[in-house]
Amino acid sequence: MLREVLLSLLGGFDQSLQLFCYTLMGALPLGLLIAFGSMTRLRPLREAVRGLVWVVRGTPLMLQLIVIYYGPGLLANGAHLWGGGGTGRMAAAATAFIINYACYFSEIYRGGIESIPRGQREAGQVLGMTRSQIFFRVQLLQVYKRILPPMGNEIITLVKDTCLARIIAIYELTYAGQAYIKSHGLIWPLLLTGVFYLLFSGILSWLLRREEQRLSYFE
Amino acid sequence: MPYLEITGLGKRFGSADVLHDVSLTLNQGQILSLIGPSGGGKTTFLRCLTFLETADRGIIRLNGETLFDAAQKKAKGKRPRQQAFGLVFQAFHLFPQYTVLENVALAPALAKKGTKEALRAKALTLIEKVGLADKADSYPNTLSGGQQQRAAIARALAMEPDVLCFDEPTSALDPLLTKEVLNVIRLLREEGRTMIVVTHEMTFAREASDQVAFLFGGTVAELGTPKEIFETPRTEALQRFLQQ
Ligand SMILES: Nc1ncnc2c1ncn2[C@@H]1O[C@H](COP(=O)(O)OP(=O)(O)OP(=O)(O)O)[C@@H](O)[C@H]1O
Ligand SMILES: [Mg+2]
């Protein structure tokens, strides 16, 4: 029985892990783009981007997930944009998660960029560096160091948020554990999923802490 | 013909006319001390000179070349040659993630001023000159304020500016560290560097500069040798300023 449960939970964990990875791969760069958008001097673009961030951060991820999965189909007369199968559902979930997390990340990026003293940019400028040289060679690592702790928090939250994907029938970790309540009247498989989550977020915390220590040589 | 020639420089922020009409000249190899009351626009002047701010009016000429002319800046539209002027900031602004050596060598490397080895050797020479040979591989947060400021001077020198500007380079330092920074500036003077130093250190201005300018009311209210400025101040404003 334990073997069977473990295999089934591993299958669920695989789905959760996929969603986690897609979200990070998409939301980390997209968030930076959104951050630049929310800081641009072009006022209409800036207002539009800040409006988007406000909407996405102000509504539940679960709601966004449902709208993104079912919305296009309803608009297009029942034709299924995402395709019916597991791949389609995962694509929809990843899209919703990426947009949601990119908006949270963008605020962290923006705070990080704005917290770098103006003197850093000006020092680069009088030394004749170009704007992109200043960003990549002077500011970026300082921003990275500053945003690491809040980013870490969001990433740990993401580990646990992946279980929301069950609402569009993705067979993720929590779902896999809960199934045993109905089918066998067992609770311990669900509790066992907790161990998976703890291990995963524990490893991530450890990696993040190591990264923070690696960067502790400068202030 | 003077080496540096600034004519009618003006800068306003909103309704505040900070620099009204600043004109001065400086010969090559000379050091000009800029003194004046707080809020008088000394920093703003240096920022216009180093193109961190764009002056609204005026002309900046260096060695016969017009580096900036507010009247045609739109027509020309090209970025001024920023490296003509180096700037040492009051608060150093070293790059914290780089060692002293990396701080000094970064900008020349990005500007492709030479091979990696040549730039490294040159950076080390400059670091030695400011007395930080044993700190070349240290990070800024392990240095004293005076050491950081000397590293910042080496960093500015590495881009070989024609004129090196200092904005109150010692006002963030206590007296002992002030001395070591001022000594570096004196050393650079002996090398014949052209420099503009905004300072509250009157002893330094008196002993170490060739020219002293008193910035008051948005203009150069008095310009002269240290002897003229400190011993026979003509305007009442300067007399009052020197008394405190
Ligand atoms: N970016 C800015 N926007 C608006 N006002 C400014 C700006 N920069 C400077 N000022 C104003 O210009 C005036 C001159 O400031 P500046 O810093 O040049 O004086 P300073 O002579 O360097 O003074 P201190 O001796 O205190 O350093 C001040 O009244 C200041 O408030
Ligand atoms: Mg100032």
Q: Domains of chain A: which residue ranges?
A: 2-214
**Residue B101 burial by Cβ neighbours in a 10 Å radius (0-12, 13-18, 19+):** buried
Q: Give, for B11, the enclosing helix (H) or strand (E).
A: strand B4-13
Q: What are the structure tokens assigned to A41, written together? A: 């001097």
Rounded average pLDDT over B161-167? 96
The answer to whether the pTM exceeds 0.80 is yes
Q: Which residue of B has its CA nearest to A140?
A: B97
Residue B77: pLDDT band (50, 70, 90) is very low
- In whole angstroms, what is the distance from residue B223 CA to residue B24 CA? 8
Residue B81: pLDDT band (50, 70, 90) is low
- In whole angstroms, what is the distance from residue B177 CA to residue B145 CA? 7
- In whole angstroms, what is the distance from residue A204 CA to residue B101 CA? 35
pLDDT, tens digit, for every residue of A151-167?
Answer: 999 999 999 999 999 99
Between chains, do A218 and B140 touch, taking CB under 8 Å as contact?
Answer: yes
Q: Give, for B179, the enclosing helix (H) or strand (E).
A: helix B175-190
Q: Which of B50, B97, B160, B164 to mutate to test the interface with A (most CBs of A within 10 A)?
A: B97
Between chains, do A117 and B139 touch, taking CB under 8 Å as contact?
Answer: no
Residue type, A111: G
Examine the pLDDT at A190 and tell me if it is beyond 70.
yes
Residue listed under structure tokens 């070591």:
B180
Rounded average pLDDT over A132-139? 94
Surrounding residues of ion ligand 2, Cβ less than 5 A: B 43
| Averaged confidence pLDDT in chain A | 93
Residues of chain A contacting B155 with CB distance shorter than 8 Å? 127
Q: What are the structure tokens assigned to B16, written together? A: 């505040």
Count of pairs with CB atoms under 8 A, one residue in A, one in B:
59
Between chains, do A129 and B107 touch, taking CB under 8 Å as contact?
Answer: yes
pLDDT, tens digit, for every residue of A47-72?
Answer: 999 999 999 999 999 999 999 998 88
- In whole angstroms, what is the distance from residue B205 CA to residue B32 CA? 8
Between chains, do B82 and A219 touch, taking CB under 8 Å as contact?
Answer: no
Residue A84: pLDDT band (50, 70, 90) is confident
Fold held by A2-214:
MetI-like fold (1.10.3720)
**pLDDT on residue B119:** 94
In this structure, the number of other CB atoms found within 10 A of the CB of residue A204 comes to 16
Long-range contacts of B187-192 (CB under 8 A, 24+ apart): B187/B129, B188/B153, B188/B157, B188/B164, B189/B31, B192/B28, B192/B29
CA A1 to the chain's CA centroid: 34
B14: left (phi over 0), alpha (psi -120 to 50) or beta: left
Q: What are the structure tokens assigned to A161, written together? A: 């948020």
CA-CA-CA-CA torsion for B27, B28, B31, B35, nearest 10 degrees?
Answer: 40
**pLDDT on residue B153:** 97
Strand, helix or coil for residue A110 = helix
Q: Is the CB of B223 under 6 A from ligand 1?
A: no
**pLDDT on residue B82:** 66
Which residues pair with residue B198 across a beta bridge? B34, B167
**pLDDT on residue B80:** 58
Q: Looking at CA atoms only, how far is residue A148 from chain B in angstroms?
A: 15
Examine the pLDDT at B41 and tell me if it is beyond 70.
yes
Q: Do you know the residue count of chain B?
A: 244
**pLDDT on residue B172:** 86
Q: Helix B175-190 vs helix B145-158: angle between axes, to the nearest 10 degrees?
A: 20
Alpha helices in A40-184 (DSSP H): 43-58, 61-75, 86-115, 118-126, 131-133, 140-161, 173-184
Strand ranges inside B46-174, DSSP E? 57-62, 65-69, 85-88, 163-167
Q: Looking at CA atoms only, how far is residue B137 from chain A in angstroms?
A: 12
Between chains, do B96 and A218 touch, taking CB under 8 Å as contact?
Answer: yes
Q: Looking at CA atoms only, how far is residue B221 from chain A in angstroms?
A: 28
CB B51 within 8 A of CB B80: yes
CB contact A123 to B (< 8 Å): yes
**Who's near A127: CB < 8 A, 6+ residues apart?**
B83, B86, B106, B107, B155, B156, B159
Residue B96: pLDDT band (50, 70, 90) is very high
Please report the sign of the dihedral spanned by the C-alpha atoms of residue B65, residue B66, residue B68, residue B73: negative
Q: Looking at CA atoms only, how far is residue B108 from chain A in angstroms?
A: 8
Which of B180, B158, B161, B160 lies closest to B169, judged by CA? B180
Residue type, A21: C
Q: Is the CB of B38 under 6 A from ligand 1?
A: yes
Interface predicted TM-score (ipTM) of this complex, two decimals: 0.92
Residue listed under structure tokens 């330094």:
B204
Closest residue to B93, CB basis, from A122, A128, A217: A122
Q: Is the CB of B42 under 6 A from ligand 1?
A: yes
Using the mean position of ligand 2's atoms as its centre, give its distance from the Cα of residue B45 in Å. Answer: 9
Between chains, do A123 and B86 touch, taking CB under 8 Å as contact?
Answer: no
CB contact A115 to B (< 8 Å): no
Using the mean position of ligand 1's atoms as its centre, give its distance from the Cα of residue B181 in Å. Answer: 24
Examine the pLDDT at B75 and tell me if it is beyond 60.
no
**Domains in chain B, CATH or no CATH each:** 4-243 (3.40.50.300)
Between chains, do A127 and B91 touch, taking CB under 8 Å as contact?
Answer: no
Per residue, what are the HEC states of B192-236?
A: CCEEEEECCCHHHHHHHCCEEEEEECCEEEEEECHHHHHHCCCCH
Using the mean position of ligand 2's atoms as its centre, give its distance from the Cα of residue B150 in Å. Answer: 19
- In whole angstroms, what is the distance from residue A83 CA to residue A34 CA? 28
Q: Give, for B125, the enclosing helix (H) or strand (E).
A: helix B116-129
Examine the pLDDT at A81 and tell me if it is beyond 90.
no
CB B85 within 8 A of CB B161: yes
